[in-house]
Homo-oligomer: A and B are copies of this chain.
Amino acid sequence: MATARPPYDKLVFELSAPGRIAHSLPECDVPVGDAAALLPREFLRAAPAELPEVSELDVVRHYSRLSQMNYGVDTHFYPLGSCTMKYNPKVNEDMARLDGFARLHPLTPEAGAQGALQLMWELAQDLAEVAGMDHVSLQPAAGAQGELAGVLMIRAYHLARGERRTKVLVPDSAHGTNPASTALAGYEVVQLRSNEAGEVDLAGLERHLDADVAAFMITQPNTLGMFESRIHQITDLCHARGVQVYMDGANFNAILGITRPGDLGFDVCHFNLHKTFTTPHGGGGPGAGPVGVKAHLAPFLPVPVVVRDETSGVFRLDWKRPQSIGKLQAFWGNFGMLVRAYTYIRTMGPDGLRAVADNAILNANYVLARLQSHYDRSATGYCMHECVVSARRQKRHGVTAMDIAKRLLDLGFYAPSTYFPLIVEEALMIEPTETESRETLDDFCDAMLQIAREAEEDPKLIHDAPVTTPVRRLDQTLAARQPRLRWTPPR
């Protein structure tokens, strides 16, 4: 049933021929000597960098061929849990490429950047409304940097109140960036064990909430895709102890227009525009991780803040914020991603955003309903936008979550997230997103059920997978033992 294609195994360096060129540069139109005359010798490269020498067709064909070795949302269903691999609208791309946005220098005088500043100002307003927060900074480059910014604001807040708190509580179900960002912000990370339902253990939380705790950081819905139903008890409990509560907003797709972090009692939350707001993942980035805060944290927001002069309606960057945590990246944020998110929000409107959450939840529960006969659930009750199942049963036949992932590739689907969250054995974290059709979900579920059968009847088929990809299973150990991290010319 599967058909084969001729393999391609080149690196651009291997297409190189001395003296071949793919570039076109203007002649020098100024009457000055060449670089050697202008710059002291010691600053000029002794030997040229060993870069490729190829033609423009070499480049176009090489990268076109390489791209064909990928699965992407544009070509395949991509149910990678926690990553919200939804459709990235093409019109967003057109807008981000308008000269007025793409060719605008960050240090253009504000008078010459009013359109860009207005877009940022409006987007921050919209995100604040969506989150029920008072202020939003668009500067963080991704979710993890949003976390860092949020925790640093919490830190600054406590210090401003003369409190030297040293610990942050993080559930054992949290994504790795949560503890990593918290530690980077100078806090001792205390891991909270989740209860058997995978939720916050209130008693455990209460036990850990001592005077040294600066913040509690949780994901809502949590990484099992379940809504933390006792969220108000949690936030009240924390606030009663002067502890700030941070919401990891990676799962925002589940709650758009349904509920808001601010209304749940959170003091801070970040967004992943590359998840909820359709900016492309681009093979790993760039993303954008705006962070929203309640009013009491506003003084600590990163600089600069985009503000609007009420009377003149003029937009500008406000740098005069003495209590700010400072800057997170050199400029104002991943503006190109902000344009895409803005375009998306304007396209959807209030009802559209709500429909996103409704359909994301519906799709996830549909997949769960169809799979639960053959895969163990990680929690009871309805899930939100994603579901986590366990390959525990398949494991008995020697088929792991990883094996199932590989087999899915052969059946024409990208794989769910595997082995996350850590608290679920052989976890398969499936996030269909609202942009996938029932037909696609059925095809995927049929494949998952087929694999469950194969696990019992023909596990070898699964262990051999993938066989339809440009390469088959790769030797991770070799890669780590003898790291080859760059190409070197064959000697």
Contact = CB atoms under 8 A, between A and B. Distances in A.
Interface string A51-68: 000011110110011001
Q: Is the interface of A mostly helix, strand, loop or mixed?
A: loop
B56 A4 contact: no
A355 to B, nearest CB: 13
Contact of A4 (B2, B64, B90, B437): B2
A435 B74 contact: no
A437 B17 contact: yes
A437 B55 contact: yes
A55 B6 contact: no
Contact of A2 (B7, B437, B439): B7
A469 interface: yes
B468 A3 contact: yes
Interface residues on A, range: 35 or more
Contacts of A61: 73-76
A410 interface: yes
A89 interface: yes
A2 B3 CA distance: 9
Contact of A347 (B1, B5, B24, B65): B24
Most buried by B among A3, A76, A90: A3
A4 B5 contact: yes
A470 interface: yes
A89 B56 contact: yes
Contacts of A15: 437, 439
A2 B470 CA distance: 8
A412 interface: yes
A436 interface: yes
A65 B411 CA distance: 15
A87 interface: yes
Contacts of A468: 3-6
B6 A87 contact: no
A136 to B, nearest CB: 27
A76 B469 CA distance: 19
Nearest to A2: B4
B75 A6 contact: no
Interface string A436-449: 11110000000000
A423 interface: no
A467 interface: yes
Nearest to A411: B6
Interface in A418-467: 435-439, 467
Interface string A79-117: 000000001011000000000000000000000000000
A377 B20 CA distance: 32
Interface in A1-43: 1-8, 15, 17, 20, 24
Contact of A412 (B6, B24, B74, B90): B6
Given A68-B75, A75-B64, A3 B4 contact: yes
A87 B56 contact: yes
Interface string A338-349: 000000000100
14 contacts: A1-B7, A3-B5, A3-B470, A4-B4, A4-B5, A5-B468, A6-B410, A17-B437, A55-B435, A56-B90, A57-B436, A60-B74, A61-B76, A68-B68
Interface of A: 1-8, 15, 17, 20, 24, 55-58, 60-61, 64-65, 68, 73-76, 87, 89-90, 347, 410-412, 435-439, 467-471
